[in-house]
Structure 1
Amino acid sequence: MQWRRRHCCTHTAKLLYVLSLLGVLIFLAHQVWLPKLTGMAWWRANPVVYGGGGLNMSSKYSLWRFVTIHQADVNTSFHKKEGVSPLQGKPSFENTALANTSQTHDLSATVNHGTFPYIINEPDKCTKGQHGPFLVLLIATEARQVEARNAIRQTWGNESVAPALGFIRLFLLGKNEGELGLLQQRMLEAESQRYHDIIQQDFLDSYKNLTIKTLMGMNWVAMHCPQASYVMKTDSDMFVNTEYLIYKLLRPGLKPKRNFFTGNNMRGFAPNRNKNSKWYMPPELYPSEKYPTFCSGTGYVFSGDLASKIFQASLSIRHLHLEDVYVGICLAKLQIEPTPPPNEFLFNHWRVSYSSCKYSHLITSHGFHPNELLKYWHHLQSNKHNACINTFKEKESRMHTTRMN
């Protein structure tokens, strides 16, 4: 009898062990392995996928398609781990954003929709006049770039460029960690108190989170400045001829456009599969051979109504770290094709050699140190009315000197 009891207990223990092991394997498959392979949690419905001809619904689950993630409940433990406050109440249009994924090198990891509360905000920036501003500038920057922000305030970002129309500048920032981050935060808050042109949310400020930063700016326009006629997103190392942009391209005398998006159009570009590249795009994240048409993130302009449309589209599209490509995918979902600029040299994502003639007829040029920005801006302002006439005279003079020699 004792032998039988021992034998029965041994078999029972083995059976329980096998069942528990099976349960662990099922849990890992559902909760860990499947999300890592697909970028999508196992309980999701049929995903929206990006195919060659556009966005469509797929009834067949595929590991090799661009899967968009629908808005989900907030995982509180995730937010505690990442240092992000959990969402209070139900997700809303104002406080729903893409999750911070910059602290992992696995770009294909599941992205959760979370909240990034404002650390610094300017909700009343657009309420000063009776009508909405003609142009809102959204400038991506980092806390350490104090000189660049000051140079922009004195040059192309100076709101006195078009005071009668309403011209607003906003610098977009995330936060930094550690002791240096705390010091930078105190300085940033003092800077904000002085200029009232900074908005900042509680996500890690990094290159991989530039998409989150841009969406923060679009969401701010949608929530606090929906009456804006136009918006421009650009970077802090850019030269922007805001006067030419406003009066020659956007033309305040005309009725504001809708569903309008323009910049340096990047059409037919393929994802970069070089793992050593800054612009590397893993096939797991974006398997298609071509991106939809997008505009270089160095500077693009869109009508004010698109701010809310792009942000809302982003809530159902999987996060990508390449901000300009990602915005292009949002536009593709909205079935909006970026408009080519009237002149292909208006928006430049490279550095254009300076001359007052060239710079009086372009909108963007890339790669400027703050001191250069101040120098060239002031030179352009003093020569803009006869910039090309002076250039022609200089060429004539050089030609004459050459002939004499």
Structure 2
Amino acid sequence: MWKNFRILLKALFMTVPILFLIFILATLVLNFGQQSKPETSIDEETYARVYTDNSTVDSMVYQVVSQNITESVVQLNTTKVLSKNNTTKVLVKNKTTTVVATHNNTNSTQIYEYSFSYLYVPVQVCSSNGTKSDPFLLFVVKSDVYNMANRMAIRNTWGASSNPGIKLVFLLGYLPVMKPFIQKESNMYKDIIQLNFIDNYHNNTIKTIMGFTWVATHCRGANYIFFIDDDYIVNTKHIWNHLQSLYVAEKRSVFLGFVWKGARPQRNTKSKWYISRDDFKDNVWPPYASGGSLVLTVDIINKLLTQFKFMKPMFIDDVYLGIACKKLNISLIHESRFSVRYRPDKMNHLFSSHGFRSPMKLVEDWKKFHIKYDMVI
């Protein structure tokens, strides 16, 4: 009996140090994991989606497309309205930062102003004084700050024109977690416009307004501005030839796009596109061009920027533009060749085609289109 007891004690004394060592190692690993996480207040899902594969994200700045980066998951948490000294501030706030749009009440006239700072601006794309060195056609790609792979795909496909009359820039909002990656991307390609508003779906209108502001300030000599999302392919040669014909015909003040008529606001509170009657009381939207792909001229942009100051912000950017155009009596020219659907079979006849959410899909399809149709000019 005593012999068995001594054997048990011996086994116990041998096991305890091993268990203690395992506990120490586990504690060190956990502490290291906590220390390696960046000191930022982003949510756990965002951290997991970006930082668990930061080597892939980092390499995308230097290599042709390898894979897609997840879409933004940072969402609005609160919206507050504060009033002081006849000025109302609309705060759009989330876990990382706060952006402010103000409107001043003067004799019942509301003036909305947007004040954001440029974090990065393109180099050698446009002249600031509106001279002839500005491009004939400027592509402004509205891109989610996370979508580095999409931007790489565009730079290496339809955006890779050697025509000096065509320039390309990318328009981004801001998220702290992406700061080092955007810094590298901007330094390498010098085609990034980034402002310090939070980059998410509900700030699409702010992104559009600030893109218009940059064009009106820094590229006002450009003849035509093509605003497009980063999940489209463009038939560069086709749109170039069409705009050249418009210019020759002296149609130099235009707003082109896939125009929707008779669409109704979504009143279902569970819908992503829900609009209350306080935001828009009518039952039918005015005509509006799909915001993912449209062409307009700088004079139209200037008129819209003036009108925006008197309009309550709305997160659906293409509808917001449509409302402004109606107030200004700006005619929207419908062009079915700005396809809102994935139409690879029609690419030879289209200006643009939607639905290339995967950068690899965009690259693969572009190779097929380019070989078949020679779409770059």
TM-score (norm. length: structure 1) = 0.64
- Confirm or deny: 8 A CA contact 2:97 2:198 kept in the other structure: no
**1:63-88 Cα shifts (integer Å, max 9, x gaps):** xxxxxxxxx8586x9699994588xx
> What are the residue-to-residue correspondences of 1:1-400 with 2, within 5 Å?
73=87, 83=97, 98=101, 113-122=113-122, 124-127=124-127, 130-160=132-162, 163-164=163-164, 166-176=165-175, 181-182=176-177, 184-251=178-245, 254=248, 257-341=251-335, 344=336, 346-352=337-343, 354-355=344-345, 358-368=346-356, 369-384=358-373
Change (3 A) 1:250 1:301: farther
Letter in structure 1 aligned against 2:352: T
The 1-side partners of 2:125 and 2:194 are apart by 14
Contact between 2:138 and 2:226, CA under 8 Å: does it hold in 1?
A: yes
Equivalent position SS for 1:305 = helix
Which residue of the partner structure matches residue 59 of structure 1?
A: none
Counterpart-to-counterpart distance in 1, 2:277 and 2:82: 15
Write the letter of the residue equivalent to 1:371: M
Distance 1:274 1:78, change over 3 A: closer
Once residues 296 and 79 of structure 1 are traced to their aligned partners in structure 2, the CA distance between those partners, rounded to angstroms, is 25
DSSP-derived class of the 2:266 partner: coil
Q: In structure 2, do the counterparts of structure 1 residues 78 and 277 end up closer, same or farther at CA, with 3 Å as the change threshold? A: closer
Q: 1:258 to 1:381 in 2, by over 3 A?
A: same
CA distance in 2, matches of 1:80, 1:304: 32
- How far is 1:247 from its partner? 0.7
d(CA) in 2 for partners of 1:330 and 1:226? 20
TM-score, length of structure 2 as denominator length: 0.68
Which structure 1 residue ranges, 5 or more long, are not aligned?
1-35, 44-71, 87-97, 101-109, 387-405
Deviation per residue, 1:285-320 (Å, 9 max, x gap): 111111111001121111222122211211111100
| 2:231 partner letter | D
Q: How many angstroms apart in 2 are the aligned matches of 1:322 and 1:379? A: 34
**For the Cα contact (< 8 Å) 1:295–1:324, is it kept in 2?**
yes
Alignment partners' CA distance in 2, 1:248 and 1:336: 21
C-alpha deviations, 1:307-343, integer Å up to 9, x for none? 22211211111100000000111111211020122xx
Task: Considering fraction of residues, name the structure with more strand.
Answer: 2
Aligned-residue CA RMSD in angstroms?
3.2
Letter of the structure 2 residue corresponding to residue 351 of structure 1: Y
* 1:26 alignment partner in structure 2: none
CA contact under 8 A between 1:241 and 1:360: conserved in structure 2? Answer: yes
Q: Which runs of 5+ in 2 are unaligned?
A: 1-79, 104-109
Classify the secondary structure of the residue corresponding to 1:159. coil
SS at match of 2:159: coil
Whole-angstrom CA distance in 2 between matches of 1:322 and 1:253: 31
Inter-CA distance 209–373: structure 2 relative to 1 (3 Å threshold): same
- CA drift of 1:169 comes to 1.0
Other structure's SS at 2:248 match: coil
Question: Equivalents in 1 of 2:361, 2:308: separation in Å?
Answer: 36
How many percent of aligned residue pairs carry the same amino acid?
31
SS in 2 for 1:283: coil
Change (3 A) 1:280 1:256: farther
Structure-1 separation of matches of 2:174 and 2:92: 15
What number of residue pairs does the alignment pair up? 287
Q: Aligned-pair distance for 1:249?
A: 4.7
Deviation at 1:132, TM superposition (A): 2.3
The 8 Å contact of residues 112 and 309 in structure 2, kept in 1 or not, is answered as no
For residue 122 of structure 1, what is the amino acid of its counterpart?
P
Q: Give the C-alpha shift of residue 245 in structure 1.
A: 0.9
